[in-house]
Chains A and B, each alone.
Chain A
Amino acid sequence: MKSSLIELRNITKAFEDNVVLDDFSLTVNQNEFITLLGPSGCGKTTTLRIVGGFETPDQGRVFFEGRDITDVPPNKRHINTVFQKYALFPHMNVGQNIAFGLQISGKSDAYIRDKVKYGLKLVNLDGFERRKIESLSGGQQQRVAMARAIVNEPKVLLLDEPLGALDLKLRQDMEYELIRLKNELGITFIYVTHDQEEALTMSDKVVVMNGGYIQQMGTPEQIYNEPENAFVADFIGDSNIIDGIMMEDRVVKICDTIFPCIDEGFGTNNPVDVVIRPEDLIIGKPGEGRLDGEVTHIVFIGVHYEMEIMAGGFEWLVQNTVSYPVGTKVSLDVIPANIQIMNKPKSKEEEAINTDV
C-alpha cells in the first residue's frame, strides 16, 4: 500500500478575475511519477507552483506528509523544482550551481564535492564541474538543473515542462533518463507538460486538466484507451469523436448505422459522444464493412499513412500501414471493443469530473 505524500485539498486560485483552479483536489503517493497534462492555461503550472510554495492558494490547504504546509515558504519545504527555463545561476559554474543547495544546508566541503560529482554522474555530465553555464547546450543545462535539484535529496521533485526546449532525439533520451532516475532514487515526481507523448511515456499516473478542473485521472493506458469525455479523447492522441445514439446496452448508432460495442449503462435512445481511434478503423473493400466511403486525402507520416475517408457523412481520420490512393472506394469497420462511448457534457460544471478517488 503506497502512502499519500502530498495532498491538495479543495484548492481555489484566481489571478485577478481569472479563476485558474476551482475546488481542485489531488493526492500524490510516495514514489509515484504523476503527470499533470493539459493545454496552456489549464492550471497545471499553477498547481505545481502551489506545491512548490511560489503561489498561495486563495482557498484550500496543501498537506505534505500529513502536515499543513500551505503557509510554509519555498525555502522551508523539502521539495525541489526543475524550472521550465532551467533557471541556472549564470554567474556560477556548473559545480557551484549544483553545490548551492548543499552549502545552504551546511554540508561539509568533502560531502559537497562528492555529491556534486555524484549528481553530474547521474545526469551523464562527468567532469563538467568547472564549465560555465553559458558554454552548455540546452540539453546540458537542463541536466545540470536536474542535478542541482536532485543532490538535495528532496522527497518530491517538481518538473515544469523541463523538456519543452529540447529537440526530439534529446527529449526521448531525457525521458528514459527521468524514468531511470525515478526508479533509482525513489523520489516522487510531479511533472507538468502539454505534451501527451511525454505524459504517456513516463507516468505512473496521468492527470488530464482543463479549465482548472481535472478531466480524468488514471494510468496512461486508461487515459488513452478509455477516455471519459470528448476533451480527453481529443487531447490525448488523434481520435474521431462522433455524435452517436446509444440504442440500448452494447448497441450504438453512428451515422445511421448500427454498431455493436461493449459499453453498458448509458440508457436507451440517449445521445452520446463516440470515440474511435484512427488506428482502430479497419479498411476493407466496398461492401465489406459497415460504412462505405471514399479516400479524400492521404499523407505519409513515417510509421504509417494517415488518410481522411468520407463515409456516412463524416470525415474519418484513419491510420494504416497500407496506402489507398485518393479516390479509392473503401469500406470502414471497427471491432466492438474499440468503440469508446462517453456521456455528452450537459453543462460546463459537468465537464469536470468528480475525482474523489
Chain B
Amino acid sequence: MYKKILAAPFYFWIVCGTVIPLVMIMYYGFTDRTGRLTMNNVLAIFQPVHAQALGLALLLAFISTLICFLLAFPLAMILKGSSWGRKGFIVFIFVLPMWMNFLLRTMAWQVILEKGGIFNTMLQTMHLPSLNIINTPAAIVLGMVYDFLPFMVLPIYNTLMKIEPSVIEAAYDLGATKGKVLKDILLPLSVPGIASGITMVFVPSLTTFVISNILGGGKIYLIGNIIEQEFTTSANWNLGSGLSLVMMVFIVISMGAMSRLDKSGEGNFI
C-alpha cells in the first residue's frame, strides 16, 4: 500500500504525459473535422508531398546516423585507449556542447554556414571557391550529426569499456591481428552500445523539424516539418495526427529492431 502511494506521482505523470496525449493523437488521427471515423488522415502519407517528405526524412536520418557511427566508433576507441585523466577531459569536451541549448547550437551553425558567414569567409581568405551549404540537405545532415553525435559516442564508449581487457589480450594471444580483433571482438561486443546509439540518433533525426527549419531555410520539408505545419499554420490537427501515427510506426519498428540487438539493455547509459 505504502509503495503504491509512493508510485502515485509516476502514475499521474504517465497518464498525463503519455496515455492522454496518445489517446488524443489516435482520436484526431482516425477522425475528420466533424468527428467521423476515417482512414484518410493516415492514408494521406501516400500523397506525393507527404511520401517525399517521409522518404527524405528517412534518408537524411539514415545518412546522419551512419556518419555519427563512423565518427563515434573510432572516437570511443580513442577514449578507451587514453589514460584516465585525459579521458575525463575528452569526455568533458564532448559533453560540453550538450549543456548548451539545442536551438542555440543549431542557430550557431546557421550563422557559420550563411552566404557571408564565417565558413565562406574562411574559404575566401584561403582563395577557395565558396560553398553554399546552407539551405541544402547537406546542412541539415551536418546539424543532425553535430547535435546527436554525443548520443552515439557515449553508449558505444560505455560498452567498449565493459569489455574485459583480458578478452582482448586473449585474442592477440591466439594470434589475432589488430584488424581481426576489431572485426571479431570489439565490434561484435559493442553491438548493444551501437544499437542504443543508432536509436538515439536515428529517432530524433527522423522526427526533427527544428534543424530542417533553421538549416534548410524553410524550403526543405521533412516529415517533421509537414506535421508541424499541419498543427500550426494549417490548423489541421486531424491530418497532423494521422501523419504522426505513421511516423510513430517507423519509430517503433526501428526501436524494436535495435532493442533486439541490445537484449540486456547494456548500451543504455541514461
Q: Taking beta carbons and an 8 Å cutoff, which residues of A are in contact with B?
A: 52, 54, 73-76, 79-81, 83-85, 87-91, 100-101, 104-105, 148-149, 152
Contacts and interface: CB of A to CB of B under 8 A. Distances in A.
B185 A89 contact: yes
A81 B170 contact: yes
Nearest to B180: A104
B264 to A, nearest CB: 11
A80 B174 contact: yes
B174 A73 contact: no
Contacts of B48: none
A91 B189 contact: yes
A52 B166 contact: no
Contact of B166 (A74, A83, A100, A152): A83
B167 interface: yes
A54 B171 CA distance: 12
B175 A89 contact: no
Contacts, number: 59
Contacts of B180: 104
Q: What is the interface residue range for chain B against chain A? A: 10 to 19
Interface of B: 164, 166-167, 169-177, 180, 184-185, 188-189
Contact of B173 (A75, A85, A88, A90): A75
Q: Which of B170, B180, B184, B188 counts the most chain A CB atoms within 10 A?
A: B170
Q: Which of A52, A79, A84, A101 counts the most chain B CB atoms within 10 A?
A: A101
Contacts of B170: 81, 83, 87-89, 148
A76 B177 CA distance: 9
A282 to B, nearest CB: 49
B176 A85 contact: no
A74 B177 contact: no
A105 B188 contact: no
Contacts of B172: 54, 73-75
A54 B184 CA distance: 20
Contact of B174 (A90, A91, A152): A152
Contacts of B174: 75, 80, 100-101, 104, 148-149, 152
B175 A83 contact: no
14 contacts: A54-B169, A73-B172, A74-B169, A74-B173, A80-B174, A87-B169, A89-B185, A91-B188, A91-B189, A100-B184, A104-B174, A105-B175, A148-B170, A149-B174
A345 B172 CA distance: 42
Contacts of A101: 174-175
Nearest to B170: A87
A81 B169 CA distance: 9
Contacts of A79: 173
Contact of B169 (A83, A90, A100): A83
A100 B166 CA distance: 15
B166 A89 contact: no
A141 to B, nearest CB: 12
A52 B82 CA distance: 23
A85 B189 CA distance: 17
Given A89-B185, A91-B189, A80 B173 contact: yes
Contacts of A148: 170, 174
Contacts of A76: 175
A22 B68 CA distance: 48
Nearest to B175: A104
